[in-house]
């Protein structure tokens, strides 16, 4: 008898284990006066928001903020499209994916009545305005060491100069690399034409010859492994301040080629459980003073004009943002089915045929 009981108990334990993963709904009551949420789940890049500001938000709203981190933009898209979106209240993604996320019905419209601070954000590049709140933005440009780089760089075509063999530290990703090749060849950076993409692949094969490493551009610049970097302005800023007085990095003076501008933005996934707190958070982070404080720690380009105005002098005078072609930009757009063509060529490029 004792054994029977213990067996039963074990069975209960196991079923408990299996069902334990099921959803526990701690969300607000559906109708009537809803209780304010006390928990906010955010999925975003690591090292991208000030811990102090999060702590302050938690204190002000008597809530707990759970940050989870992605390692790739694709992770966020997988979370949103593979049905894991409801676990989060805010997910960070970038402008390039907005169209397909809206078309697929994966994200909620945002009620901007509850986010008055959003008016601080510069509207000129704010696409899909009803569905997202831009956080920070990135220029992807070329920066080089004026002492060790053997040539002067004025456009993307200079990057395939054989003189730069094994000298470039570059960001990775098909949709970051192919556009510069397409521009260098005089095509649309978001081309969906296979023969153009194939030509861009040939261009990138030459580029790849000059690449010393994908990723870690800022470290490879400061430790001398690379003399040129194709990277985000935020990373260049880090490298320049790391070198301090010895800074010999200059931003390439591009004559006509446009540079990529990308936005990291917050979206509310369909079925998010703590929308009220998510809105409070969005209003908090768009507050000029809060964002200005955030920029001290994370000196990236920011679409929040009032925050830039309120930012420190060090931020305003950052040499990494001192270039005169900020208006000459292009955006990553959804390329639809053509993404498979890009991926095939990208894989071929990385394997090295």
Partner 1 sequence: MKKNKFKQNTLPALAMAGPVSLWMILFVTLPMLYIIYISFMSRGIFGDVVYEFSLDSYKTLLDSTYFKVIVKSMKAAFITTLLCILIGYPFAYYIAKQPKEVASKLIMLVMIPFWTNSLMRLNSWLLLFQTSGPVNNFLQNAGFIDSPISFVYTDGLVMIGMITNMLPFAVLPMYSSIEKLSKSLLEASADLGASRSTTFFNITLPLTFPGIFSSIILVFIPSLGIYTVTDMLGGGKVLYIGNIIKNQFGAIRNWPLGAALSVLLIVITGLLIFIYTRFAKIEDMEVV
Q: Does 211 bind partner 1 (CB under 8 A)?
A: yes
Angstrom distance (rounded) from CA 233 to CA 217: 11
Tell which one of 8, 74, 198, 296 touches partner 1 (CB under 8 A): 74
Candidate ranges 216-224, 239-247, 270-278, 281-289; the one touching partner 1 (CB under 8 A): 216-224
Number of residues that bind partner 1 (CB under 8 A): 38
135 φ, ψ (degrees, to nearest 5): -105, -75
Please identify, using beta-carbon distances, which residue of 64 and 350 lies nearer to partner 1. Answer: 350
Angstrom distance (rounded) from CA 9 to CA 269: 39
Q: Does 78 bind partner 1 (CB under 8 A)?
A: yes
Which residues is 169 bridged to in the sheet? 213, 229
Tell which one of 63, 151, 212, 243 touches partner 1 (CB under 8 A): 212
Q: Does 108 bind partner 1 (CB under 8 A)?
A: no
Do you know the residue count of the chain? 353
Q: Does 1 bind partner 1 (CB under 8 A)?
A: no
Q: Does 172 bind partner 1 (CB under 8 A)?
A: yes
Please identify, using beta-carbon distances, which residue of 168 and 293 lies nearer to partner 1. Answer: 168
Q: Does 75 bind partner 1 (CB under 8 A)?
A: yes
Angstrom distance (rounded) from CA 180 to CA 229: 14
Please identify, using beta-carbon distances, which residue of 29 and 82 lies nearer to partner 1. Answer: 82
Candidate ranges 156-164, 166-174, 267-275, 293-301; the one touching partner 1 (CB under 8 A): 166-174
For partner 1, the binding residues in 309-348 under the rule CB under 8 A are 336-337, 339-340, 343, 346-348
Q: Does 213 bind partner 1 (CB under 8 A)?
A: yes
Q: Does 86 bind partner 1 (CB under 8 A)?
A: no
Q: Does 166 bind partner 1 (CB under 8 A)?
A: yes
Q: Does 77 bind partner 1 (CB under 8 A)?
A: yes
Least distance CB 351 / partner 1 (angstroms): 5
Using CB under 8 A, list all residues that contact partner 1.
Answer: 3, 14, 71-72, 74-75, 77-78, 81-82, 100, 104, 166, 172-174, 208, 211-216, 223-225, 336-337, 339-340, 343, 346-348, 350-353
């Amino acid at each position: 008898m004792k054994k029977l009981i213990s067996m039963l108990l074990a069975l209960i334990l196991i079923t408990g284990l299996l069902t334990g993963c099921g959803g526990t709904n701690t969300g607000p009551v559906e109708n009537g006066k809803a209780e304010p949420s006390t928990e906010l789940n955010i999925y975003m890049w690591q090292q991208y928001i000030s811990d102090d500001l999060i702590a302050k938000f938690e204190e002000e709203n008597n809530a707990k903020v759970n940050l989870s981190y992605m390692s790739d933009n694709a992770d966020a898209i997988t979370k949103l499209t593979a049905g894991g979106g409801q676990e989060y209240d805010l997910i960070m993604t970038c402008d390039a994916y907005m169209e397909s996320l809206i078309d697929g019905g994966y994200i909620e419209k945002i009620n901007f009545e509850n986010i008055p601070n959003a008016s601080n954000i510069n509207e000129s590049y704010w696409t899909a305005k009803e569905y997202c709140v831009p956080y920070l933005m990135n220029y992807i440009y070329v920066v080089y060491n004026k002492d060790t780089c053997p040539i002067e760089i004025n456009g993307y075509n200079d990057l395939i100069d054989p003189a730069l063999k094994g000298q470039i530290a570059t960001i990775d990703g098909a949709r970051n690399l192919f556009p510069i090749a397409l521009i260098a060849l005089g095509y649309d950076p978001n081309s969906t034409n296979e023969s153009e993409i194939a030509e861009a692949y040939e261009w990138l094969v030459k580029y790849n010859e000059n690449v010393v490493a994908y990723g870690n551009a800022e470290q490879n610049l400061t430790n001398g492994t690379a003399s040129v970097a194709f990277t985000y302005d935020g990373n260049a800023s880090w490298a320049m301040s790391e070198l301090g007085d010895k800074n010999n990095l200059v931003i390439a003076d591009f004559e006509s080629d446009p540079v990529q501008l990308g936005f990291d933005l917050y979206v509310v996934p369909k079925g998010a459980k703590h929308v009220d707190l998510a809105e409070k958070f969005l209003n908090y982070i768009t507050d000029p003073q809060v964002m200005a404080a955030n920029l001290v720690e994370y000196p990236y380009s920011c679409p929040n004009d009032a925050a830039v105005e309120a930012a420190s002098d060090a931020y305003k005078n950052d040499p990494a943002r001192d270039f005169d072609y900020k208006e000459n930009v292009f955006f990553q757009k959804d390329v639809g089915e053509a993404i498979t063509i890009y991926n095939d060529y990208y894989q071929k490029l990385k394997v090295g045929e």
